[in-house]
Chain A
Amino acid sequence: MEEVKKYTFKDFQSDQEVRWCPGCDDYVILRSMLKALPEMGVKKEDIVFISGIGCSSRFPYYVDTYGMHGIHGRAAAIASGVKLANPKLSVWTITGDGDSLAIGGNHFIHVLRRNIDINIVLFNNEIYGLTKGQFSPTSLIGQKTKSSPYGNTQPPFEPGELAIGAQARFFARLGGNSPKEMAALFVEAEKHKGTSLIEILQNCVIFNDGCYTQYTDKEVREDKQLHVEHGKKMIFGKNKNKGLVLDGLKLKVVTIGEDGVTEDDILVHDAKESDSTMHHMLVKLKYPLVTGIIRSVDEMTFEEREAQLTEEVKAKSSCVKVDDLFFSGETYEVK
Chain B
Amino acid sequence: MISEKAKPNKKKVEQVNAVVIRFVGDSGDGMQLTGTQFTDTSAMFGNDVATFPNYPSEIRAPQGSLYGVSGFQVHIGSMEISTPGDDLDLLVAMNPAGLKTNIGALKPGHTVIVDTDAFTKKNLQKAEYDSNPLEDGSLENYRVIEVAMTTLTREALKDLGLDNKSIVRSKNMFALGMVYWMYNRDMEHTLEFFAKKFKFKPIIAEANSKVLKAGFYFAETLELIPNSYTIAPSKMAKGQYRIVNGNTATAWGLLAASEKSGLELFLGSYPITPATDILHELVKYKHFGVKAFQAEDEIAGITSSIGASFAGDLAVTTTSGPGLALKGEAIGLALMTELPLVIINVQRGGPSTGLPTKTEQSDLLQAMYGRNGESPVVVIAASTPANCFDYSYMAAKLALEHMTPVILLTDGYIANGSEPWKIKSINEMPEIGNRKITTASDSWHPYDRDNETLARNWAVPGTPGLEHRVGGLEKDKISGNVSYVPENHEYMTNIRAEKVKRVENYIPDLKSEYQEEGDLLVVGWGGTYGSLHSAVGRLNDEGHKVGHVHFNYINPMPKNTSEVFSKFKKIIVCELNKGQLAFILKAKYGDKHEFKQYNKVQGLPFSVIDLEEKFKTLLKEK
Residues of A at under 8 Å CB distance from B? 14, 16, 43-50, 53, 60-61, 64-71, 74, 77-86, 88-89, 106-107, 110, 306, 309-310, 313-314, 317, 319-323, 325-327, 329-335
Contacts and interface: CB of A to CB of B under 8 A. Distances in A.
B222 interface: no
B316 to A, nearest CB: 11
Interface in B274-303: 285-289, 291, 293, 295-297, 299-300, 303
A79 B423 CA distance: 38
25 contacts: A16-B481, A16-B482, A46-B461, A61-B471, A64-B467, A66-B461, A77-B303, A78-B303, A80-B307, A81-B266, A81-B308, A82-B461, A84-B293, A84-B304, A85-B264, A86-B312, A89-B462, A106-B297, A106-B300, A107-B303, A314-B287, A326-B252, A327-B425, A333-B241, A334-B422
B83 interface: no
B303 A325 contact: no
Contact of A66 (B240, B286, B468, B473): B468
Given A45-B467, A84-B307, 20 more contacts: A16-B481, A45-B463, A64-B467, A66-B467, A70-B303, A71-B303, A71-B329, A74-B299, A81-B266, A81-B311, A84-B266, A85-B308, A89-B311, A107-B296, A322-B259, A327-B423, A332-B44, A332-B240, A333-B239, A334-B236
B457 to A, nearest CB: 14
Residue from B241, B330, B461 whose CB has the most chain A CB atoms within 10 Å: B461
A7 B313 CA distance: 29
Contact of B304 (A47, A77, A306): A77
Contacts of A82: 307-308, 310-311, 461
B241 A332 contact: yes
Contacts of B305: 81
Given A69-B470, A106-B296, A81 B315 contact: yes
B238 interface: yes
B472 interface: yes
A43 B310 contact: no
Nearest to A78: B307
A43 B464 contact: yes
B407 interface: no
B307 A326 contact: no
Contact of A68 (B43, B44, B310): B310
Contact of B286 (A50, A309, A325): A309
B469 interface: yes
Contact of A86 (B295, B299, B303, B461): B461
B380 interface: no
B241 A331 contact: yes
Q: How many of chain B's residues touch chain A, expressed as a range?
A: 35 or more
B425 A323 contact: yes
Contacts of A70: 303, 306, 333, 471-472
Contacts of B471: 60-61, 67-70
A327 B264 CA distance: 22
B415 interface: no
Contact of B426 (A43, A310, A323): A323
B469 A69 contact: yes
Contacts of B311: 48, 81-82, 85-86, 89
Contacts of B241: 331-334
A3 B311 CA distance: 23
B307 A77 contact: yes
Interface in B445-493: 460-473, 481-482
A332 B242 contact: yes
Contacts of A321: 259, 426
A312 to B, nearest CB: 8
Interface string B582-600: 0000000000000000000
Contacts of A64: 467
Nearest to A306: B291
A326 to B, nearest CB: 5
A104 to B, nearest CB: 9
Residue from B287, B297, B427 whose CB has the most chain A CB atoms within 10 Å: B287
B312 A314 contact: no
A333 B43 CA distance: 10
B322 interface: no
A94 to B, nearest CB: 12
B46 interface: yes
Nearest to B255: A322
B318 interface: no
Contact of B288 (A14, A48, A65, A322): A322
A61 B466 contact: no
